[in-house]
């Protein structure tokens, strides 16, 4: 893919790029720790191996972006559009993805410990081998079939709770 700009390996720690249009930008390996990226358009951007610890990406358009092996610990991704994004092997420990759109996102082998996915849309997302210890999936849109790849043998109660289907007693 031809990128509009190459900012790979750049130190952008704490930068404020809120509301900017950065579609198809190469930020491979860039350090965006603590950056303010609210409402930023990073559609189809390359953020492979990028450091985004504690970054604020609330309401950002990240659809089709490549976050493979990126560091997103504690990042604020509330209401972000991550549809079709590649988050394979990404570290999202403690990240807030409240009401985020993760339709069709690839979270294979991702680290999701203590991440919040409440009210998120994760339909058709790949969760294969994702580490979900203590992650919150309350009212998340996700199918039971997706969860078989996360847990080897989930209980029916776990499936019902995550899929939002409470069994009547």
Residue 165 and residue 145 in contact, taking contact as beta carbons nearer than 8 Å: no
For 16, list phi and psi in degrees, rounded to 5: -105, 105
Q: What is the reported pTM?
A: 0.86
Assigned fold of 1-153: Pectate Lyase C-like (2.160.20)
Q: Which residues pair with 36 in a beta bridge?
A: 16, 56
Structure confidence by residue, pLDDT tens digits, 106-146: 999 999 999 999 999 999 999 989 998 899 989 999 876 66
In tens, the pLDDT along 52-106 reads: 999 999 999 999 999 999 999 999 999 999 999 999 999 999 999 999 999 999 9
Using a 10 angstrom Cβ sphere, with 0-12 exposed, 13-18 middle and 19 or more buried, the burial of residue 2 is exposed
**160-167: average pLDDT:** 53
Break the chain into its structural domains and give their ranges: 1-153
């Amino acid at each position: 893919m031809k990128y509009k700009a190459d900012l790979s390996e750049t130190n952008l720690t704490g930068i404020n790029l809120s509301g900017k249009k950065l579609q198809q930008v190469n930020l491979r390996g860039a350090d965006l720790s603590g950056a303010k990226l609210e409402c930023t358009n990073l559609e189809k951007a390359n953020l492979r191996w990028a450091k985004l610890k504690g970054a604020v990406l609330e309401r950002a358009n990240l659809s089709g972006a490549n976050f493979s092996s990126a560091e997103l610990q504690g990042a604020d991704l509330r209401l972000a559009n991550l549809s079709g994004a590649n988050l394979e092997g990404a570290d999202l420990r403690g990240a807030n993805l409240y009401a985020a759109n993760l339709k069709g996102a690839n979270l294979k082998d991702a680290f999701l410990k203590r991440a919040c996915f409440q009210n998120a849309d994760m339909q058709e997302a790949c969760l294969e081998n994702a580490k979900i210890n203590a992650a919150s999936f309350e009212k998340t849109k996700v199918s039971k079939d997706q969860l078989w790849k996360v847990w080897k043998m989930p209980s029916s109660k776990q499936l019902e709770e995550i899929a939002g289907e409470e069994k009547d007693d």
